[in-house]
Structure 1
Amino acid sequence: ERQWYLLEQGEVEQVLTQTHLKKSLSWPDGIKCWSVDTEELAEDDPTPLEPVQTSEDLAYVIYTSGSTGLPKGVMIDHRGAVNTINDINQRFEVKPSDRVLALAALNFDLSVYDIFGVLGAGGAIVMPPPEGAKDPACWIELIVAHQVTLWNSVPAVIQMLVEHLLGTSATVVGDLRVVMLSGDWLPVDLPEKIQSLWYNAQVESLGGATEASIWSIGYSLEKVDPNWKSIPYGKPLLNQSFYVLNELMEPRPVWVPGQLYIGGVGLALGYWKNEQKTKASFITHPLTQEPLYKTGDLGRYLPDGNIEFLGREDFQVKINGYRVELGEIEVALKQYPGIKEAIVTTIGDSPQSKRLVAYAVPKEKSVIKDYSLVDGNQTEDKDEVIQPDQELNYIAEQLRKHLVQKLPEYMVPTDYLILEVLPLSANGKVDRKRLPKPQRQTIAETTQHILPQTKTEQQIAAVWAEVLELEAVGIHDNFFAIGGNSLLVIRVHNKLQELLGRELKIVELFTNPTVHSLSQHIAQIYTQEVYIETSKTHGDKPSTKVTNSKKSSNFIKSINQPTISEPSDSPSDLFPCLIPIQPEGNKSPFFCLPPVAGVVFPYFDLASLLGKDRPFYGIQSLGFMENEKLLTSIEEMASYYIKAIRTVQPHGPYYLGGWSLGVLIAFEMARQLEEIGEVTDRLILIDLPPTSTSTLTKLYVGFQFLLTQALPQIWPYVYDYVQLQNQPNVRVLAQDGSPSIQSDNQPQSAGKVLNRINSLIRSGRPLLRVMQGNSQALFRYTPKHYTGKITLLRTSKAWNSNPQDPTLGWSQFSTQEVETHLIPGHHLNLLRQPHVKVLAQTLKNLLK
Structure 2
Amino acid sequence: MAPVAVTPVAPTDIIHDLKASLATERASQTSPETLLDVLAQAAAQYSNHELGFITSSAHDSSIQTKTFSQFNEYARSLAQAMLAWGKPAGSVIVVYLTEHEDNMAAVWACLLAGYVPCLQPALSAQQAHKEGHVAHIKGLFSSATWLTSESGAEQVNSIAGLDIHLLSDLKASAETSSADFKAHEAKPDDEAILFLTSGSTGFSKAVVHTHRTILAACHAKGESYGLTSESKIMNWVGFDHVAGSLEMHIAPLLYGASQLHVHASAILSDPLRFLRLIEEKSIELAFAPNFLLAKLTRDLEKRTDLFGSFDLSSIKRINSGGEAVVSSTAQAFASTLKNLAKDGNASFVISAGFGMTETCAGCVYDPIDVLATPPAHEFLELGAPIAGCEMRIVNPEDGVSPRPDGESGELQVRGPMVFVRYYSNPEATAASFVEGGWYRTGDVGIVENGKMRLSGRIKDTVIVHGVSYGIPELETYLQTVEGVTHSFLAAAPYRAPGQETEGFVVFYSPTFELDTEDAPAKLFATHRALRDISVKLITLPPQQIIPIPINQMEKTTLGKLSRARLVNLFKQGELAKHIARAEELISVARGATFVAPSTETEKTLAAIYAGIFNLSVSDMSAGDNFFELGGTSIDVIRLKREGEASFELPEIPTIQILKHPVISSLAKYVDSLVSKDATTEEYDPIVPLQLTGNKTPIFMVHPGVGEVLIFVNLAKYFQNERPFYALRARGFEPGHPFFGSMDEMVSCYAAAVKRTQAHGPYAIAGYSYGGVVAFEVAKRLEAMGEEVKFTGLINIPPHIADRMHEIDWTGGMLNLSYFLGLVTKQDANDLAPSLRPWTRKEQLEVVWKLSPPERLVELQLTPEKLDHWVDIAGSLIECGKDYNPGGSVSVVDVFYAIPLRGSKEDWLNKQLKPWAEFSRGEPAYTDVPGQHYTLMDFDHVPGFQKIFRSRLEARGL
1:356 to 479, 504, 512: 504
1:292 to 432, 435, 438: 438
Secondary structure of the 1:206 match is strand
Rounded Cα–Cα distance in structure 2 between residues aligned with 1:637 and 1:220: 59
How is 1:511-660 mapped onto 2 (pairs within 5 angstroms)? 542-545=667-670, 562-565=674-677, 567-568=679-680, 570-572=682-684, 578-579=685-686, 637-638=742-743
Rounded Cα–Cα distance in structure 1 between residues aligned with 2:478 and 2:949: 28
Deviations 1:603-651 (A, max 9, x none): x99xx99x99xxx9998778999x99787xxxx53367669999999xx
1:213 to 360, 367, 380: 360
1:202 to 349, 354, 371: 349
Match of 1:126 in 2: 262
Match of 2:550 in 1: 421
CA contact (8 A) 1:667 1:683 kept: no
Query: Residues 836, 571 of structure 1: CA spacing in aligned structure 2 closer, same or farther, 3 A cutoff?
Result: farther
CA contact (8 A) 1:101 1:148 kept: no
1:100 counterpart = 2:234 = yes
Rounded Cα–Cα distance in structure 2 between residues aligned with 1:402 and 1:157: 26
CA contact (8 A) 2:238 2:263 kept: no
1:154 counterpart = 2:289 = yes
Q: RMSD over aligned Cα, in angstroms?
A: 6.6
Shift in Å, 1:449: 9.6
Rounded Cα–Cα distance in structure 2 between residues aligned with 1:439 and 1:422: 21
CA contact (8 A) 1:242 1:261 kept: yes
**Farther-moved stretch of structure 1 (347-356 vs 106-115):** 106-115
1:30 to 161, 184, 196: 161
How is 1:385-396 mapped onto 2 (pairs within 5 angstroms)? 391-396=522-527
1:59 counterpart = 2:193 = yes
Shift in Å, 1:279: 0.6
Query: Residues 165, 594 of structure 1: CA spacing in aligned structure 2 closer, same or farther, 3 A cutoff?
Result: closer
Query: Residues 8, 418 of structure 1: CA spacing in aligned structure 2 closer, same or farther, 3 A cutoff?
Result: farther
Please give the TM-score of this superposition, normalised by the length of structure 1. 0.56
Rounded Cα–Cα distance in structure 2 between residues aligned with 1:528 and 1:425: 54
Query: Residues 214, 766 of structure 1: CA spacing in aligned structure 2 closer, same or farther, 3 A cutoff?
Result: farther
1:237 to 379, 383, 386: 386
Shift in Å, 1:122: 2.3
Please give the TM-score of this superposition, normalised by the length of structure 2. 0.51
Secondary structure of the 2:197 match is strand
Rounded Cα–Cα distance in structure 2 between residues aligned with 1:793 and 1:471: 51
Secondary structure of the 2:550 match is coil
Query: Residues 194, 766 of structure 1: CA spacing in aligned structure 2 closer, same or farther, 3 A cutoff?
Result: same
Secondary structure of the 1:9 match is helix
1:778 to 884, 887, 890: 884
How is 1:42-57 mapped onto 2 (pairs within 5 angstroms)? 42-46=171-175, 47=177, 51-52=183-184, 54-55=187-188, 56-57=190-191
Secondary structure of the 1:545 match is helix
Greater per-residue helix proportion: 2
**Farther-moved stretch of structure 1 (216-225 vs 763-772):** 763-772
Shift in Å, 1:343: 1.2
Shift in Å, 1:514: 8.7
Shift in Å, 1:342: 0.9
CA contact (8 A) 2:602 2:664 kept: no
Rounded Cα–Cα distance in structure 2 between residues aligned with 1:30 and 1:105: 26
Aligned length: 637
Match of 1:6 in 2: 133
Deviations 1:503-550 (A, max 9, x none): xxxxx63xx679658879999x99697896997956899444378xxx
Query: Residues 96, 261 of structure 1: CA spacing in aligned structure 2 closer, same or farther, 3 A cutoff?
Result: same
Aligned AA (1:638): D
Secondary structure of the 1:564 match is coil
Rounded Cα–Cα distance in structure 2 between residues aligned with 1:20 and 1:450: 55
How is 1:271-286 mapped onto 2 (pairs within 5 angstroms)? 271-285=422-436
Secondary structure of the 1:10 match is helix
Shift in Å, 1:266: 1.1
Rounded Cα–Cα distance in structure 2 between residues aligned with 1:765 and 1:105: 43
Shift in Å, 1:477: 4.8
Secondary structure of the 1:220 match is strand
Query: Residues 621, 66 of structure 1: CA spacing in aligned structure 2 closer, same or farther, 3 A cutoff?
Result: closer
Aligned AA (2:552): P
Deviations 1:713-761 (A, max 9, x none): xxxxxxxxxxxxxxxxxxxxxxxxxxxxxxxxxxxxxxxxxx9xxx99x
Aligned AA (1:92): G
1:262 counterpart = 2:413 = yes
Query: Residues 773, 151 of structure 1: CA spacing in aligned structure 2 closer, same or farther, 3 A cutoff?
Result: farther
CA contact (8 A) 2:527 2:545 kept: yes
Deviations 1:689-722 (A, max 9, x none): 9xxxxxxxxxx998489x9xxxxxxxxxxxxxxx
Unaligned runs of 5+ in 2: 1-127, 339-345, 692-698, 765-770, 803-860, 895-915, 927-947
Unaligned runs of 5+ in 1: 286-290, 367-386, 485-507, 548-560, 573-577, 585-591, 671-679, 690-699, 708-754, 784-791, 799-807, 811-821, 839-848
Deviations 1:320-353 (A, max 9, x none): 4455664553345336687512111335124526
Query: Quick one: percent identity of the two aligned structures?
Result: 13
Match of 1:739 in 2: none
Rounded Cα–Cα distance in structure 2 between residues aligned with 1:330 and 1:249: 30
Rounded Cα–Cα distance in structure 2 between residues aligned with 1:82 and 1:444: 61
Query: Residues 413, 35 of structure 1: CA spacing in aligned structure 2 closer, same or farther, 3 A cutoff?
Result: farther
How is 1:392-403 mapped onto 2 (pairs within 5 angstroms)? 392-399=523-530
Query: Residues 329, 834 of structure 1: CA spacing in aligned structure 2 closer, same or farther, 3 A cutoff?
Result: closer
Query: Residues 113, 42 of structure 1: CA spacing in aligned structure 2 closer, same or farther, 3 A cutoff?
Result: same
Rounded Cα–Cα distance in structure 1 between residues aligned with 2:481 and 2:778: 45
CA contact (8 A) 2:739 2:879 kept: yes
CA contact (8 A) 1:96 1:124 kept: no
Query: Residues 273, 300 of structure 1: CA spacing in aligned structure 2 closer, same or farther, 3 A cutoff?
Result: same
CA contact (8 A) 2:146 2:163 kept: yes
Aligned AA (2:317): V
Rounded Cα–Cα distance in structure 2 between residues aligned with 1:401 and 1:394: 11
Rounded Cα–Cα distance in structure 2 between residues aligned with 1:426 and 1:530: 52
Match of 1:177 in 2: 316
